[in-house]
Structure 1
Amino acid sequence: MKSLKQSKLSTSIYTLLMYILALFFIYPFFVLFVSTFKEEKYIFDPSYIPNFLDFSNYRLVFSSPTFFTALLNTVLICVVTLFILIIVSSMAGYVVSRSNEFLFKSMYYIFVFALIIPTQANMVVLFRLGTTLHIINTIPYLILLYVAGNVSYTSLIYAGFTKSIPRQLEEAASIDGCSRLKTFILIIFPLLLPATATVVVVEVFWYWNDLQGPLIFLNNGKVHTLMLEIYNFRSFIGSTSYTTTAWGPVSTICLIATIPVLIFFMFTQKYLLNALTVGAIKG
């Protein structure tokens, strides 16, 4: 009886500590939320309680002529990049894991070596390439760079999951007259759903929050993404120029950019955890 009480006490203490730890993670988001309602002169005053019915910062953000364009561009980049990446990586991972030819087996190690090369080492070459081909400052070029930069990692994920699928399924489909492509589309790819969930959940945060890529490859000021919009809001909002950073509007657009990702994670975290668990067990 005593050990049971001690166990309950330990559980309660651990639970309390977890709640306290959770508060440390929630507090920055709370500060960001409160800052969206503050006037500029009170932005760094933690004791100031703003008027939560004052939506002037939100009106300023939504009145920006480039905000909704930046939002649509970011959504477009995420959707198209993920679509291409899933198709290419799933096929590449399937072929690499199933083929016995030396060429395709060596591709597995090429994917591994590609992960070692830092992205920053290729920035100058990729910028010169885009300039030479006259496709710099375009969304398609940024999408191609995203796909090329992550296809190795995602192909390895698909290859690992494909190895866990019994070959007997493909042999049975072949006996029934299915081609290799049809077998992949109808049988293999649906079984790779955990890997696809992992790719979507992990990669979408990278594309949504990336500033470095748009800042370098979309630098003409005509094509906007959400992160570029936040960067530009530091000193220029709509047609108004600021000599110092307007932290109220900046906090507002940061909050708006965070909410879709937060909602997405809340609905997909169980799929990510399940995918990682399945991959660990089957690996």
Structure 2
Amino acid sequence: MSKTLSLKAPTKGSTIGSAVMFLIALLFTAPFLVLIMTTFKDEDHVFDPFYLPDFTRFDNYRIVFASPTFFKALMNTVLICSCTLIIAVIVSSMAGYVVSRSKERFFKGMYFIFVFALIIPAQTNMVVFYKMGTSLHMMNTIPFLILIYLSGNVAYTSLIYAGFTKSIPIQLEEAAAIDGCGKLSTFIRIVFPLLMPATATVFVVEIFWYWNDFQGPLIYLSNGKVPTLMLEIYNFRSYVGTLSYSVTSWGPVSAICVVSTIPILLFYLFTQKYLLKGLTVGAVKG
């Protein structure tokens, strides 16, 4: 008995839907495309929409890489993101595991404390953090900024791990206990490897916050000795002005924005497949 395969022709509704989705995608990507094209224009044609960019012209990028503080700002940002993510993963994974598995009232209450912490605006803590940093003589230091990031995001990442842990069969931990594994050994050897999708989700979600944060470094790294990429972009126009360029040199400013975006964009492209999986699997059970 022969079987024939029939392909459905696209309906009018699906065609319109695809067109609308394409227009929405174009709407969101257009500013970044304009930004890239601006980096290949000279200053006289930056705002000319009909002037074609010269993609062999890298003068604006040379100005960025010639900046004496750009690479320092890049390394500081990478250091802050790396240390904060590593500590957040260690602390949040353990906290989420205990909250989701423990039957004690204290740890059950911790879950609601984490939820309550999410509704507190970060701006309400700025004065407290500033006074604390001044009292401890930790202002304008990377460790203090890392601690502030952790205090604001550990609750959220712990909830991600708690939700994901509920989808892991508890029988695996019971079997490990029968084999003589303690709680910590069971977590490290059995549970944590199964939390890799959640860890990838934490990395993807949190690194965007740390990488793009401008308010935190502006307040807590205000002396200019510990620059980050966002502070470098903020101060870059002044640097360009000292090079006898126009104060409104949008070509070099656009170039530093593009260069600062490339690392985080590449990171997202390589890890995006884990983002949806990590956010949804934990919601299947519990």
Bin the TM-score by the shorter chain: over 0.9
The answer to which of 156-165 and 55-64 deviates more is 156-165
Is residue 2:215 matched to residue 1:215?
no
Q: Return the letter of the residue paired with 2:100.
A: S
Is the contact made by 1:74 and 1:225 (CA closer than 8 Å) also made in structure 2? yes
Q: Return the letter of the residue paired with 1:199.
A: V
Secondary structure in 2 matching 1:281: coil
The answer to which of 20-29 and 119-128 deviates more is 20-29
* Residue matched to 2:46: 43
Deviations 1:142-190 (A, max 9, x none): 1111111100011111111112222222121111111110000000111
Q: Which runs of 5+ in 1 are unaligned?
A: none
Is the contact made by 1:162 and 1:192 (CA closer than 8 Å) also made in structure 2? yes
Report the TM-score when normalising by structure 1: 0.92
* Residue matched to 1:269: 272
Query: How far apart are residue 18 of structure 1 and its match?
Result: 2.8
Q: Identity, % of aligned pairs?
A: 68
Q: 2:198 aligns with which of 195, 200, 206?
A: 195
The answer to which of 9-18 and 62-71 deviates more is 9-18
The answer to which of 101-110 and 219-228 deviates more is 101-110
Query: How far apart are residue 21 of structure 1 and its match?
Result: 2.9
Secondary structure in 2 matching 1:49: coil
* Residue matched to 1:157: 160
Report the TM-score when normalising by structure 2: 0.92
* Residue matched to 1:142: 145
Q: Return the letter of the residue paired with 2:187.
A: F
Q: CA–CA distance in 1 between the matches of 2:28 and 2:86?
A: 32
Q: Once superposed, what is the RMSD of the aligned Cα atoms? A: 2.0
* Residue matched to 2:207: 204
Is the contact made by 2:41 and 2:54 (CA closer than 8 Å) also made in structure 1? yes
* Residue matched to 2:3: none
Is the contact made by 2:81 and 2:211 (CA closer than 8 Å) also made in structure 1? yes
Is residue 2:177 matched to residue 1:174?
yes
Deviations 1:233-271 (A, max 9, x none): 122249547783321111001001111111111111111
Query: How far apart are residue 113 of structure 1 and its match?
Result: 1.1
Distance 1:54 1:7, change over 3 A: closer
Is the contact made by 2:167 and 2:284 (CA closer than 8 Å) also made in structure 1? no
Instruction: Report matched runs for 1:1-20 at 5 Å.
Output: 7-20=10-23
* Residue matched to 1:81: 84
Is residue 2:226 matched to residue 1:228?
no
Q: Return the letter of the residue paired with 2:48.
A: D
Is the contact made by 2:118 and 2:155 (CA closer than 8 Å) also made in structure 1? yes
Q: Which runs of 5+ in 2 are unaligned?
A: 1-6
Is residue 2:92 matched to residue 1:96?
no
Q: CA–CA distance in 1 between the matches of 2:123 and 2:237?
A: 25
Is the contact made by 1:114 and 1:152 (CA closer than 8 Å) also made in structure 2? yes
Q: Return the letter of the residue paired with 1:183.
A: T
Secondary structure in 2 matching 1:204: helix
Secondary structure in 2 matching 1:236: helix
